[in-house]
Amino acid sequence: MTVLPDAETAARRAAEEIAWRVDSARAEDRLFHVALPGGTTPRRTYELLRDRVRTWRHVHLWLSDERAVPHDHPDSNERLLEEVLGTFGALGPTIHPVSSPERPEDAAWLYGVELGSQLRGRVLDIALLGLGDDGHTASLFPDHLALNAAEAPCVPVHYAPKPPPDRVTLTLPVLRRARYTMLLAVGEDKRGALSALGRADRRWPASLLADDLDEVICDLAASPRS
């Protein structure tokens, strides 16, 4: 676990870790697939990435989850990525939105098919994950049926304990297989969830990824050690 003084420093560290991998892939002339979350915590990381990476033409951006709202809704994760990282024009990334997120079953199936057709047997190069104070990551919530998915890369989520209740999410197997998986958490309210990472407990979904996390970045306020 990398503990940094504050949220800004944590966001900068996360941006640096992602940026050098993006740049390395460009130098090697290979496509690069990244799964990104929405929410307030990662936005600053994306802003720093926007300033750090000059070209994204080789990068495919995927949503680790999406809420069942229209694409132009303030809570849309696609909207967040478009606002921050979709401004590069011809040098920009390929952003893969979730089609018709208001229909989670259809949207999850279509997104899984699209992910498989683009990866063609490969895995995500990076999965950046956020963390809820209840231990959820992506839209994988405590004791939820979505945690049972063993084959499907993407599943619908109903009755989420946080609004909106309907969503789609990448599943644990997809996130586990990513070449590099980073968890970013800031704020005192995340301390309990971070302290549960070693438990592998369905009541704290992020803990089910603990053995597969390559790096956990947090600020001092979130650190269980503080």
* CA–CA distance, 180 with 34 (Å, rounded to integer): 10
123: nearest Cα among 175, 173, 178: 178
| pLDDT (0 to 100) of residue 198 | 84
Please write the tens of the pLDDT for every residue from 194-215.
Answer: 999 988 899 999 999 988 999 9
* CA–CA distance, 53 with 49 (Å, rounded to integer): 6
Is the confidence at residue 102, as pLDDT, over 80? yes
| pLDDT (0 to 100) of residue 209 | 95
Domain 2-219 falls in which CATH fold? Answer: Rossmann fold (3.40.50)
| pLDDT (0 to 100) of residue 21 | 97
The residue ranges of every structural domain in the chain are: 2-219
Is the confidence at residue 226, as pLDDT, over 70? no
Please write the tens of the pLDDT for every residue from 9-58.
Answer: 999 999 999 999 999 999 999 999 999 999 888 999 999 999 899 899 99
| pLDDT (0 to 100) of residue 159 | 95
131, 65 in Cβ contact below 8 A?
Answer: no
* Average pLDDT value for residue range 138-148: 96
- Listing DSSP states for 81-95 in one string gives HHHHHS--GGGS-EE
List, in order, residues 6 or more apart from 199 with CB less than 8 Å away.
207, 210
179: nearest Cα among 109, 105, 128: 128
Is the confidence at residue 225, as pLDDT, over 80? no
Please write the tens of the pLDDT for every residue from 153-190.
Answer: 999 999 999 999 999 999 999 999 999 999 999 999 99
* Mean pLDDT rounded to a whole number for the chain: 94
